[in-house]
Structure formats: C-alpha cells, structure tokens
Amino acid sequence: MSSPRQDPRRAMVALGLCLVLGLGAGVAVTVGAEPEASAAAVAGVVEDNLGVEAGDAIRDAYEAARSGDRVTPPAPVFPLDAGAAVESEGAPERDAASAGKSAPPAPAAEPEPTPEPGSGLLGTDVTVRPELSGKLVVASGSHAAPADGKVWRVQVAVEKGLPVDPEAFAEAVLTTLNDPRGWNGADGSTFARTDSDRYDVRVVLASPGTTDRLCLPLDTIGELSCGIKETAVLNFKRWATGSGAWKDVRNYRHYLVNHEVGHVIGYHHDLCRGKGEHATVMVQQTRTTSGCIPEPWPAPDAG
C-alpha cells in the first residue's frame, strides 16, 4: 500500500473532498504536506468541475501553506442545487399538530332562544328599540277558520329586527281571535290564517316609531296601537311591557288583539259605564280604564 506522498491521486481526491465540504483550513494543511504536482493536479480537477475560482482558491491555499502565512479559507463557490433552493424558500411552516400543540376548540354555538308561548317573544331580557327599518316579515303558514260564521282572512306580519318569532306571534294572534270568548261569541266572526296578500285583516307588530307612521293620521305618540283601514297595528312597546292598568300582561295582550281587530271589522270605541263596572273590549284600556274593571274579551261569558 502506498502512502499519500507516493500517491498524488489519493491526495487529490482528499483535497477535493475537503474543498467540497468547505473545510478551507484542512485544504491548506493538506497542500502544505504535498508536492507542487499534487496541488496543481487538485487545482486542475477542481477547476474542471467547479470553475476557475475554485481552482484559484486551491493554488492560493498551496502558496500560503508553503510560505507559512495564515489564510482565511474562501467561501464556497459551488452552485446550489435548484431544487434545494426552492425547497428552502418554500419550506412549509409547522402546523399546530407538528409543533406539539392542539388547535383550540371551536366555540360552541349559542342555542336559539325558544319563543314564549302566547307572545312569540325571544328571550327574557327584551329591549324595546324606539324605531326600526319598517320592513315587515309575513309569518308563514295558513289554516282554515275553525268555526262557522263570517270568515275573516288574517295575515300576520312582524317588523324585521324585533325579538319576536313571527310564526309564534301569529299563532298567539289567531288563538286569541278564535277563542270562544272572542268575536265569534259576540257576533259570529271566525278567523282563517293566510300568508298571501289576499286578506281581509292584517295584524302587524311594529316598533313604536313604525307604529306611529302606519297609524297616520291617528296620533299614537309612540305609546298606543291602532286599527285603521284593514290593518291592526300593535305597538311592540305595549306587547312587550303591557300596561299599568293591567296586572296580567297576558290578558292585556288578549285585549290588544281583540280591541284593534275589532276596529278593523267595524267596531268603534265604547265608554266606561261606571266605576267598578266591567269594561267592554272596545273601551280604551291602555293608559287607563277610567274606573272600569279591565276586560280582554268581546264575549267574556261565552264558551
């Protein structure tokens, strides 16, 4: 087996490997131990494969080694592999799983509030906004009148933005109108529900500001409701909060529906007949009952 001094080819391979790995100091030491022929041969091979600059770097390292000068190894001049460059620039970021972290759970969706039976109100903390857009949402659904008699087709609508379920509100309205103590017991009227524009009576639940506009030329002052032309407009403030003249807001709602629809089907206001007397449903009973006992039904003794 020959030594590195006797085998310039092996020395040349060793030097080339040192240069490829960027070990410039190792190159200088190896060249210092080799003859000029070895250094020239290595420089030539490197120059053929890696370029003139790399060959020059080998020659400079050899001369420095012979003179004993300290030389800082030159930076590698080898061309980067194109694939490696792309991979380096476009390396995917570690996601939460690869980093040992789990993604935070998605927040649970809040359950939809359940409409209150008899009112359609959504939630217990209801805010009365003085004015909304005025756009009306017609409650979907229809059914025939439940009794014989004069049939009135009723469309029910709720102003968009009110905390009210339109279908639950419509159910409350029709339940009140078709109660045996209602107008059927008083004059034989019966009420069918429709969601089409072919209606005889429209019941609208609206914000105070929209109520005022729909009730013109009547002045409802943001507090009252009205029955005008073919429409009964119920003020949401009154529907949600009731009236100081009534102890039970549920009975007040029955009154509000029967009273305003009573106007639409042809009835006018009554007066209280005396303190302590039962009011009729057409007595104005929102701000005061004028000493009468509040009454929500047209025919309280029927049924």
Query: Which sequence spans correspond to the domains of the chain?
Result: 8-79, 115-303
Bond into 217 cis (ω within 30): yes
More confident residue, 188 or 28: 188
More confident residue, 153 or 59: 153
What is the average pLDDT across 110-128?
88
With cut-offs at 50, 70 and 90, classify the pLDDT of residue 111. confident
What is the average pLDDT across 241-261?
96
Contact 201, 153 (CB under 8 A): yes
With cut-offs at 50, 70 and 90, classify the pLDDT of residue 3. very low
CA distance 227 to 142: 22
What is the average pLDDT across 55-81?
51
pLDDT averaged over every residue in the chain: 79
CA distance 184 to 125: 35
What is the average pLDDT across 156-170?
98
CA distance 288 to 1: 124
CA distance 135 to 158: 8
* The pLDDT value given to residue 47: 56
Separation of CA 235 from chain center = 29
More confident residue, 53 or 192: 192
* 5 pLDDT above the threshold of 60: no
Separation of CA 203 from chain center = 31
**Which stretch of 87-96, 184-193, 206-215 has the lowest confidence by average pLDDT?**
87-96
* 113 pLDDT above the threshold of 50: yes
Domain 115-303: top CATH class:
alpha beta
- For the chain, how many residues are written? 303
CA distance 172 to 154: 13
* 33 pLDDT above the threshold of 50: no
What is the average pLDDT across 240-253?
95
With cut-offs at 50, 70 and 90, classify the pLDDT of residue 168. very high
HEC-encoded secondary structure of the chain = CCCCCCCHHHHHHHHHHHHHCCCHHHHHHHHHCCCHHHHHHHHHHHHHHHCHHHHHHHHHHHHHHHHCCCCCCCCCCCCCCHHHHHHHHCCCCCCCCCCCCCCCCCCCCCCCCCECCCCCEECCCCCCCCCCCCCEEECCCCECCCCCCEEEEEEEEEECCCCECHHHHHHHHHHHHCCCCCHHHHHCEEEEECCCCCCCEEEEEECHHHHHHHHCCCCCCCCCCEEECCEEEEEHHHHHHCCCCCCCHHHHHHHHHHHHHHHHCCCCCECCCCCCCECCCCECCCCCCCCCECCCCCCCCCC
More confident residue, 26 or 214: 214
More confident residue, 90 or 117: 117
CA distance 227 to 93: 67
% of the chain surpassing 70 pLDDT: 65
CA distance 22 to 17: 9
